[in-house]
Amino acid sequence: MADIPDRIVLARLPRSAEFRFDLAPDAPARAALAASFGLIALRKLRFSGRLQAEGKRDWALDGMLGATVVQPCVITAEAVTTRIDEPVKRRFVADMPHSEGEEAEIPEDDTLEPLPEVVDLAAIMAEALALALPLYPRADGAALPEARFAPPGVAPLDDETAKPLAGLAALRDKLAGGQDPENGR
């Protein structure tokens, strides 16, 4: 495989042909990414796709991110391995709508980005990986114990104790319907 640069200067690309890329960072680069994201390990990482002209000045990036990540379980801290296969799309547009003032309108198309002079494929790969990581990885069978909170000397409220309160909703509904809860009319 030819050495693909991480940073692509768009002005140097021919607009008549697509530019194909395939990035597979080496072990030290994966270790650095893993450390920056708080991962136990980043076993595999590949970002491949194409960059092609769209219209007179815009560019489109269509890619696929593949990764095998190892994260700590949020409950037990055991290692949890997850496979990620995520499509990545970006549209770099010359006439990106700009918002003035403090409040900015978020465009409906979340793939739109202002047209840069240089497309940083490594940065796009890292961003896509960060967005695809599981937020709360759990080991198989890991579960939180039932939490019971109460001041000293007071029995904690659990599901069984709370059931009489559910009867209040039925009483409210009967009263709202004009029925007398005592007589059922």
Q: pLDDT tens digits for 155-182?
A: 776 666 666 666 677 778 888 876 555 5
| pLDDT band per the 50, 70, 90 thresholds, residue 183 | low
Burial (CB count <10 Å: 0-12, 13-18, 19+), residue 87: exposed
Q: For residue range 50-104, what is the model confidence (pLDDT) as tens digits?
A: 999 988 888 999 999 999 999 999 888 899 999 999 999 999 988 876 666 676 6
Question: What is the token pair recorded at 177?
Answer: 């319907």
23 pLDDT above the threshold of 80: yes
pLDDT: which is higher, 115 or 93? 93
pLDDT, tens digit (0-9, with 9 covering 90-100), for 133-144: 999 888 887 777
The order of strands in the sheet holding 41-54 is: 19-23, 41-54, 58-72, 79-93, 112-114
CA separation, residue 95 to residues 51, 91, 113, 160, 174 (Å): 18, 11, 10, 61, 60
Query: What mean pLDDT comes out for the span 17-46?
Result: 94
**pTM of the model as a whole:** 0.71
